[in-house]
Amino acid sequence: MAHTESGTTMSDAEVVDIMTDMTARLDQTAGAVRTNRQTMIDLASRLITLAQAGHPELADSVMEVPASRYTDPARYEAERHAIFDRMPFVAGLSRDVAEPGDYLRIDHMGTPIMVTRNRQGQIRAFVNACRHRGAALVYDDRGHSRAGFSCPYHAWSYDLDGHLLGVSCNASFGNPDKASLGLIPVAAHERHGLILVAPKPGVTIDWDHFIGPELDAELPHWGFDTVAASRVGPIELNGNWKLVLETFLESYHFNYAHRDNLAQYYNGNVNTVDMLGRHLRTATSLRTIQTDLPALPQDQWTPENYIHVKYVLFPGTILINTPQVLEFFQIMPLGVDRTLVRHGCYSRMDLTNPANAALFERIWESAHTVVQKQDFPYGVTTPHPALTSAALPGLVFGRNEWPLQILAQEIDRAVAEAPAPATT
Ligand code: FES
Ligand SMILES: [Fe+2]
């Protein structure tokens, strides 16, 4: 049984109990999700049809991918160069840095980054390194430093816009030009309650181009700017980042890997597939969708109570929307065979109600347990050594694993289209 961050374990029966409570307490989430009704009715109609047919929306054919895609260091470097060094990622939600001086530390995207909010309420991101001798300014994953940032090594100080304010023993540095020694900025952009950050200095963010018009129109409906307190916990895995991504992309495994927990409530091997630009939307449903909704006229449907909508922002930000919570997973490659997953959970329930607060803690722990107990061992940490051994020639993506095929092609396209790395 897997151990969670808190060192506790959760059994399948406890996970099922939580799903029972989530269903029983749906009244606590009414109105919390401002979903686009027409989109949700469309997804519900498709999910009911698919549940009756017993399969998800299907790819045209089966796809095979070679082991080297996961194990070749040169391939990994090409992906870093084409994707992770040049595309923005979701550093967190607006609420994670709600007040001026709140900060997030992101250490695993190649460049150490800190994200904060200035006195005018604007999001700012910097390289988390002092301009004197490079010590990090912030050390906690989240924190608050209202007055700005003071380096713990020799006390150089900076304001929330990164301006250098003070140099201890100033004369020993020849009264340096402070204007040229501010923190090194990194591009950041906040919209719809999400914070996009560039992976390193010099990379710009074009929200409209990256997010695209379809997703930009849909994101506000999820109320990311109104979710409540969150829990966060990193998970480090021995395996290639694409194996981690692929664990989130199909519902085929529900009926087997999650037979004794999630599949008690959710339809396995039933999901919709939509590409919104280069980002993926896939929806799954409660088993009750195919019994409850067809019995009602469509104008009485409450599809948001039956559907979980997952967005995969290319390549590795996963946002899973349920009536009760937003689950957040950020996939950060540490090397060809190591990956860090930042897992967060944000509440859509009113947490001033103690019963909701208790349920939120249990939802967080159950998700954190299930991915570590089932998804990551089956999908990441046992396949990776088999692929590395060269005994396993590759993997097979079925027609019912269409999103795996789509994202594999998107990743290949990004690698093929990236300009060659600068030579030194
Ligand atoms: S490294 Fe920051 S003050 Fe010296
Ligand atoms: Fe799973």
Q: What is the tens place of the pLDDT at every residue in 220-247?
A: 999 999 898 788 899 999 999 999 999 9
Averaged over 294-318, what is the pLDDT? 95
Q: Where are the domains of the chain?
A: 12-82+209-417, 89-204
> Residue 1 — pLDDT band, cuts 50, 70, 90?
very low
Q: Check if 130 has its Cβ closer than 6 Å to any atom of ligand 1.
A: yes
pLDDT at 6: 43
* Per-residue pLDDT, 241: 98
- Tell me the backbone φ, ψ of residue 172, rounded to 5 degrees: -65, -15
Instruction: Give me the phi and psi of 299, to 5 degrees please.
Output: -75, -5
Closest Cα to atom 4, ligand 1: which residue?
154
CB 133 near ligand 1, within 6 Å: yes
Residue with tokens 């390289």: 127
Q: For ligand 1, is residue 346 a contact (CB within 6 Å)?
A: no
131 C-alpha to center of ligand 1: Å?
A: 7
Which pLDDT band holds residue 30 (cuts at 50, 70, 90)? low
Flag whether pLDDT at 5 surpasses 90. Answer: no
Q: Does ligand 1 come within 6 angstroms of the Cβ of 380?
A: no
Residue nearest atom 3 in ligand 1 by C-alpha distance? 154
The answer to whether 382 and 257 are in contact (CB under 8 A) is: no
Task: Decide which of 3.50.50.60, 1.10.10.10, 1.10.760.10, 2.102.10.10 is the CATH code for 89-204.
Answer: 2.102.10.10
18 — pLDDT class (breaks 50, 70, 90): confident
Helix spans in 119-240 (H): 207-211, 213-218
Domain 12-82+209-417 has CATH 3.40.50.360: no
Rounded Cα distance between 263 and 160, Å, is: 47
Q: For residues 134-161, give the mean pLDDT.
A: 97
Helix (H) / strand (E) containing 192: none
CA atoms of 26 and 286, how far apart (whole Å) = 13
User: Cα torsion for 138, 141, 147, 151, to the nearest 10°?
Assistant: -10
Q: What pLDDT is recorded for position 2?
A: 37
Gap from CA of 248 to ligand 2 centroid (Å): 7
- pLDDT tens-digit series, residues 74-105: 999 999 999 999 999 999 999 999 999 999 99
Average pLDDT over residues 9-20: 86
CB of 156 sitting under 6 A from ligand 1: yes
For residue 45, which of 340, 253, 306 has the smallest C-alpha distance? Answer: 306
Pairing of strands 63-66, 394-397: antiparallel
**pLDDT on residue 111:** 96
For residue 201, the model assigns a pLDDT of 98
Q: How far apart are CA 239 and CA 227, in angstroms?
A: 32
pTM: 0.94
pLDDT of residue 424: 54
| Other C-beta atoms lying within 10 Å of the C-beta of residue 221 | 18
Cα-based angle 292, 293, 297 (whole degrees, multiple of 5): 125
